[in-house]
């Protein structure tokens, strides 16, 4: 099983390590990380390039996949969706939390939320990851702890409607004597 130190050693010489991704906590359901925003991450208009957030999220999802499939070596991103809410300042540290929503033998779904130093949500990335060489786990994976309540609220009560006025219409009041 991997720990933060072994993940750091694995990532350090390859793109995520060179990019600056720091993994700070690992687990079967959650991976935490940090990324210091550098000047070379800027895009036109002096904002952080969207690909920076996606690269950071993808790395944490791959780490989550490795935590759940330690004997598998080929993990790829099958689908990715990124939503942006706010930006972060160059030179600051963005923190991210990746959470597993589905953990299968060959596919997993992870969602990553990223916050700037002020604690404001910058982006949410949802990724479907695939293991190309699935290996049977020695023990079955424990069920996922839902991060939020999955119970739907009761439907709203129906609104009372006022009776329709029929005055001045051809129909008139049918209950009144003629």
Q: Which of 79, 134, 126 is nearest to 98 (CA)?
A: 126
- Work out how many domains the chain is built from and give that number: 1
Given pLDDT bands bounded at 50, 70 and 90, which one contains residue 14? very high
> What's the rounded Cα separation, in Å, for the pair 141 and 69?
10
47 vs 83: CA distance, rounded Å? 16
Where does residue 10 rank: exposed (0-12), middle (13-18), buried (19+ CB within 10 A)?
middle
Average pLDDT over residues 20-40: 97
In a domain, 170, yes or no: no
- As a whole number of angstroms, the distance between CA 60 and CA 33 comes to 7
pTM of the model: 0.77
Confidence class of residue 71 from pLDDT cuts 50, 70 and 90?
A: confident
Asked whether residue 74 is domain-assigned, the answer is yes
State the residue for tokens 């952080």: 48
**pLDDT at res. 165:** 57
Domain range for 117 = 4-131
Q: Are 87 and 122 in contact (CB under 8 A)?
A: yes
Whole-number pLDDT of residue 166: 56
CA angle 160, 161, 165 (to 5 degrees): 155
pLDDT over threshold 50, residue 140: yes
The domain that holds 99 is classified in CATH as 3.10.129.10
Q: Looking at 37-135, which runs of residues are DSSP E strands?
A: 75-84, 93-103, 107-115, 121-131
Average pLDDT of the chain to the nearest whole number: 86
Is 144 part of any domain?
no
In this predicted model, which residue has the larger pLDDT, 164 or 160? 160
Between 41 and 177, the higher pLDDT residue: 41
Q: Has residue 178 been placed in a domain?
A: no
Q: Is residue 36 part of a domain?
A: yes
pLDDT 10s digits, 72-112: 778 899 999 999 999 899 999 999 999 999 998 889 999 99
Residue 88 inside a domain? The answer is yes
pLDDT at 47 over 60: yes
Between residues 157 and 34, which one has the greater pLDDT? 34
- Residue 19, in any domain of the structure: yes
Q: Quick one: pLDDT at residue 85?
A: 94
At 74 the three-state DSSP class reads coil
Three-state secondary-structure class, residue 134 = coil
Q: How many angstroms separate the CA atoms of 49 and 131, rounded? A: 28
What integer pLDDT is reported at residue 163 of this predicted model?
65
Model pLDDT, residue 13: 96
CA distance 174 to 55: 71
What is the model's pLDDT at position 149?
47
Residue 146 in any domain: the answer is: no
């Amino acid at each position: 099983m991997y720990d933060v130190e072994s993940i750091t050693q694995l990532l350090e010489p390859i793109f995520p390590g060179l990019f600056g991704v720091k993994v700070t906590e690992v687990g079967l359901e959650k991976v935490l990380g940090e990324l210091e925003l550098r000047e070379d991450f800027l895009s036109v208009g002096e904002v952080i390039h969207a690909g920076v957030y996606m690269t950071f999220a993808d790395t944490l999802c791959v780490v989550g996949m490795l935590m759940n499939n330690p004997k598998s070596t080929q993990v790829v991103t099958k689908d990715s969706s990124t939503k942006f809410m706010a930006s972060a300042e160059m030179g600051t540290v963005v923190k991210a939390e990746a959470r597993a929503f589905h953990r299968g033998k060959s596919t997993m779904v992870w969602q990553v939320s990223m916050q700037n130093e002020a604690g404001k949500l910058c982006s949410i990335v949802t990724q479907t990851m695939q293991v190309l060489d699935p290996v049977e786990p020695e023990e079955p994976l424990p069920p996922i702890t839902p991060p939020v309540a999955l119970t739907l609220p009761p439907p709203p009560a129906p609104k009372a409607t006022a009776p329709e006025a029929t005055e001045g219409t051809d129909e008139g009041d049918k209950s009144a004597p003629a």
